[in-house]
Chains A and B, each alone.
Chain A
């Protein structure tokens, strides 16, 4: 067990405050049996690693480099908690992550990204993820943004999932303004692997949302689902590109995109399906439109105002 505590208690408390204000639970970062990492700007405020996990971290000029390895055969019982925050109004946070789940290992990661005061903050995340044979890696990231809309979130990930591996990832950005989101994930799925990519984003004001998710099913019997739910209002714009390629026999991929628009918002969905193996199959469904009228009218018939009804429906979709 390796617990680092620097004398950063003020900043740690500020991060805790920001996280809890945003509905997160900061107490996990003090639990010795839970692996965790708290990064504020380019400072590592706390780090804890438990058995089966190797966590290397280095502060850089504008962020941190992280290498996380789940050792062969280890099934990590508690989710690993990560917190990335940036408290000042302006600046750049560059996170470079390399994650490796070794053969037969299993881990679940929960990341909170909090940018409560941002007027002009860029949060870039470059991730390389390898899920080895029969390993399981689940990574869920939730963002808490302020109401200023001054954040640019630019996550890029290159993911390789090997034979029998399972990779599940989710990004939720529904509290506060999005600002700019430019997400680009690229997944290569091997034989018998299962991949699931989930994104939920709620845009308002002049938010600009770009989501590009590509899954290449290169192994026999590889399966994937790409699911995105985007609600945008006001003058926000959103573009979803879901690319699924079936290159191997019995590979199966599905893309499911729902975008709900209100006000002057503009949404666009581009499903790209490429299959070069006759035994592979890729399906997609995309629905863009305003909130379903029957749903709204049903809730109004139970006494809700139209705006309340729309709110509940949008929230449900992003649950």
Chain B
């Protein structure tokens, strides 16, 4: 990754699009501060504070969180307890909060609260539960890596509703996606290609540019048009 310049505004839904292998997930990991993803150069600021040296936990305590493209599984951990972990940061661990978060991702609390976040759940169910745990956290910045992946096409609308819900509750959302519908629902979009943020702007325009004018990893096309 090199020369990435990206800003997410307050309560903004900002989508990041781009081809496979462009470095979108890597960007998400850098922002969250995962081990092995420390930048060689450059700085990350959050709310005016330099957070590059901060640990994952310290970033999370400031309200940054990450939803993985492929969520982890937790043997023996109940959905209820998993959701409570996020809710604790928001000082809002009530049965009502947990149920509401599950309803937001269209899972019935009665059926899911006491299940394990393990292999016993399907990939899509785990993905929904991960999104629910982000809702309970009431983050300042939610980084969502392909929140629609593994979720059936019919439910794309729910994912969009959930992202809008986060925004309405004061979160900024950085959403990595291959779905035009999600990009179109954002306030701004950035196109990433080969480790670089190629351009940022109106989501529909950026999507169209990516679809129609960007050849696979043809950085020259960008340089010509961008300059």
The answer to whether B57 and A294 touch across the interface, beta carbons within 8 angstroms, is no
Q: B81 — which chain A residues lie within 8 A by C-beta?
A: 312
- Selecting from B12-20, B63-71, B207-215, B218-226, the interface stretch reads B63-71
The CA of A298 and the CA of B74, in the complex, are separated in Å by 10
Contact call A294/B86, Cβ cutoff below 8 A: no
Q: Is B61 within 8 A of A303, CB to CB?
A: yes
**A285 contacts B by Cβ under 8 Å:** no
Would you call B227 an interface residue if the criterion is a C-beta within 8 Å of the partner chain's C-beta atoms?
Answer: no
> In the complex the two chains form, what is the Cα distance from A295 to B66 in whole Å?
12
Per-residue CB contact flags for chain A residues 294-319 toward chain B (1 = under 8 Å, else 0) read: 11011111111110000011011111
Question: Which listed residue, A302, A306, A319, touches B85 by the CB 8 Å rule?
Answer: A302
Task: Verify A318–B76 contact, CB threshold 8 A.
Answer: yes
Residue among A293, A306, A316 having the largest count of chain B Cβ atoms under 10 Å: A316
In the bound complex, how far is the Cα of B116 from the Cα of A302, in angstroms? Answer: 18
Q: Is the CB of B86 within 8 A of A316?
A: no
Q: Which of B64, B71, B88, B116 contacts A298 (CB 8 A)?
A: B71
Q: Give, as a whole number of angstroms, the nearest-CB distance from A99 to chain B.
A: 29
A292 within 8 A of B: yes
B85 neighbours in A (Cβ, 8 Å):
299, 302-304, 312
Quote the shortest CB–CB distance from B154 to chain A (angstroms): 27
Cβ-based interface call for B56 (8 A): yes
Contact B76 A303 (CB under 8 A): no
Shortest CB-to-CB span from B181 to chain A, Å, is 26
Contacts of B137 in A (CB 8 A): 302-303
B27-64 CB mask vs A (1 if < 8 Å, else 0) is 00000101100000000000000000001110111001
**CA separation between A297 and B34, bound complex, in Å?**
7
Task: Say yes or no: is B133 at the interface (Cβ < 8 Å to chain A).
Answer: yes
Size bin of chain A's contact surface: 20 to 34
Q: How large is the interface on B (under 10, 10 to 19, 20 to 34, 35 or more residues)?
A: 20 to 34
Are the C-beta atoms of A295 and B72 separated by less than 8 Å? yes
Check B56 against A300 for contact (C-beta < 8 Å): yes
Interface residues in B57-101 (C-beta closer than 8 Å to A): 57, 59-61, 64-66, 68, 71-77, 81, 85-86, 88-89
User: Bound complex: CA of A297 vs CA of B36, how far in Å?
Assistant: 12
Known: A303-B85, A303-B88, A303-B89. A298 touches B72 (CB 8 A): yes
Closest to B117 in A: A316
Q: Determine if A292 and B72 form an interchain contact, defined as CB atoms under 8 angstroms apart.
A: yes
Q: Is the CB of A302 within 8 A of B86?
A: yes
- Chain A residue with minimal CB distance to B130? A298
Give the distance to chain B from A261, nearest Cβ to Cβ, in Å.
Answer: 16
Tell me whether A302 and B76 are in contact in the complex, defined as CB-CB below 8 angstroms, given that A293-B35, A297-B34, A297-B56 are known contacts: no
Q: Is there an interface contact between A297 and B60, defined as CB atoms closer than 8 Å?
A: no
- What's the least CB distance linking A215 to chain B, in Å? 23
B55 touches A294 (CB 8 A): no
A295 and B65 alpha carbons, distance in the complex (Å): 14
Name the B residues within 8 Å of A312 (CB-CB). Answer: 77, 81, 85
Q: Given A300-B55, A300-B57, A306-B57, decide whether A316 and B74 contact each other with a Cβ distance below 8 A.
A: yes
Q: In the bound complex, what is the Cα–Cα distance between A294 and B75 (angstroms)?
A: 13
**What are 13 A-to-B residue pairs whose CB atoms are below 8 Å?**
A294-B68, A294-B72, A295-B72, A295-B73, A298-B72, A298-B130, A300-B56, A300-B57, A303-B61, A303-B85, A303-B137, A305-B57, A313-B77
Interface residues, chain A, with chain B CB atoms under 8 Å away: 292-295, 297-306, 312-313, 315-319
